[in-house]
Amino acid sequence: MSDQRLNFIGGEWTESQTGETFETTDPANPEEVIATYPQSDAADTERAIEAAAEASDEWAATPGPERGRVLTKTGSLLDRRKDDLTELLVREEGKTRSEAGGEVQRAIDIFHYYGSKASDLGGTVKSSSARDTNLYTKTEPLGVAGLITPWNYPIAIPAWKIAPALAAGNAVVIKPASLAPGVVHEIADALAEAGLPDGVLNVVTGPGSEVGATIAGHEDVDAVSFTGSTAVGNTVYDTATEDGKRVQLEMGGKNPTLVGASADAEEAADIVADGAFGVTGQACTACSRAIVHEEVYDEFVDAVVDRAAAIEPDHGIDDPDMGPHVSESELESTLEYVEIAEDEGATLEYGGSTLDREGYFVEPAVFSDVDSEMTLAQEEVFGPVLAVIPVSDFDEGVRVANDVDFGLSAGVVTDDHTEANRFVEEIEAGVVKINEKTTGLELHVPFGGMKDSSSETYREQGDAGLDFYTISKTVYDNY
């Protein structure tokens, strides 16, 4: 029997006024319903925003250390429920048990991190050029933060938006993605148990056209943080900035790994395969382009094909090498890109077929002989599909790496320190990795992209995550 979930508004679990619901199902077993959620509308969202606005002043006036204690306790509560959260994430989103457990742990760590950071907020003292004057800054919350989060990291991304927003003293309204909202409900439950006042966090499920659009456009929302596709993100940006809201967007990626002539092909294949096929390729930072020097190209292709062929997809609960796509539409999109790549003349070296079993499973795919102008080299696939592109030298490799509209994460595999330094300087990406996979992020450093991967306004995570949710007031005190 599936769970019956509700919206969380003003400290209470409540049904949508529409009376309509939607279901989440197990992507490895689509006949199994995991939970039922409210199909909310604009009116439900407005109620949540009103609750947040009413609660915002009290929470803003709460001392930072007290706010921090709530977040720290929330992290501890999530830690106690880690196994249940991991299983829920696997069954709604499809990750393997190891991947889901790692993501849940990240959310736990994020709440502990911002729990400690909340005590440091306040401002700085400066030396005044005038006598008998105190000069200092005062850090204040913005008010109400509207958060719109994706399905591919359904607990980590909400955590790295919710925790800094609350640490800074803001009230929050969040719309989790409809494919996997359950773990956000669990965050709300933990925060309430940890002592968060009623109305400070509100969760509303439903379509982006109703819930997301209302959050982005409502006059009582002061800041909007969105993670998702570039197309939707641009719409959110246009709506939110009409009345001057602060906006933060993190969107798509077409992430390259440049494999230099000095690289060990086997090591490079390990790094690229981990970045390309982990989490079923459903990561905005996944490596989708291996740009490989011609001297090691053939050896690299053979090695990365071996890595792909060794992957055995299965139900994530059994902790296989790779889980299913999150939905039928995501699977169909990946299969369409495989077909387009073949039609445009790329060579399918391995994979790209569905499995003869129930669920949204696909073999990881490797394409060689990919030209930088092909669709597979330009558009985000969001599946376990790798395009391998040959280049004649390092300069051509950097040009090809930058020859896309996105600029989120990028890597280089090389034993040449000069090449590594040049790559850091010349690549157009917000995250740059040397001899590491493009996926995987430390929680205490800034995260964000360039070009169509980001609004290029504010970064997420670390101190930068707090910057987005605060504003500074400069005070001159002439005594």
What does the alpha-carbon distance between residue 259 and residue 435 come to, in Å, rounded to a whole number?
9
* Dihedral angle over CA of 411, 413, 414, 418, nearest 10: 0
Which of the residues 250, 349, 380, 460 is marked catalytic? 250
Task: Count Cα atoms within 13 angstroms, Cβ side, for 138.
Answer: 10
SS (H, E, C) the chain: CCEECCEEECCEEECCCCCCEEEEEECCEEEEEEEEEECCCHHHHHHHHHHHHHHHHHHHHCCHHHHHHHHHHHHHHHHHCHHHHHHHHHHHHCCCHHHHHHHHHHHHHHHHHHHHHHHHCCCCEECCCCCCEEEEEEEEECCEEEEECCCCCCCHHHHHHHHHHHHCCCEEEEECCCCCCHHHHHHHHHHHHCCCCCCCEEECCCCHHHHHHHHHHCCCCCEEEEECCHHHHHHHHHHHHCCCCEEEEECCCCEEEEECCCCCHHHHHHHHHHHHHHHHHCCCCCEEEEEEECCCHHHHHHHHHHHHHCCCECCHHHCCCECCCCCHHHHHHHHHHHHHHHHCCCEEEECCCECCCCCCCECCEEEECCCCCCHHHHCCCCCCEEEEEEECCHHHHHHHHHCCCEECEEEEECCCHHHHHHHHHHCCCCEEEECCCCCCCCCCCCECCEECCECCCCCECHHHHHHHCEEEEEEEEEC
Give the number of other Cβ atoms within 10 Å of residue 37's Cβ.
25
The answer to whether residues 32 and 197 touch, using CB atoms and an 8 Å cutoff, is no
Give the number of other Cβ atoms within 10 Å of residue 203's Cβ.
29
Let me know if 339 is a catalytic residue: no
Q: Which residue has 């995260």 as its token pair? A: 447
What does the alpha-carbon distance between residue 271 and residue 286 come to, in Å, rounded to a whole number?
11
Task: Point out the residues that are catalytic.
Answer: 250
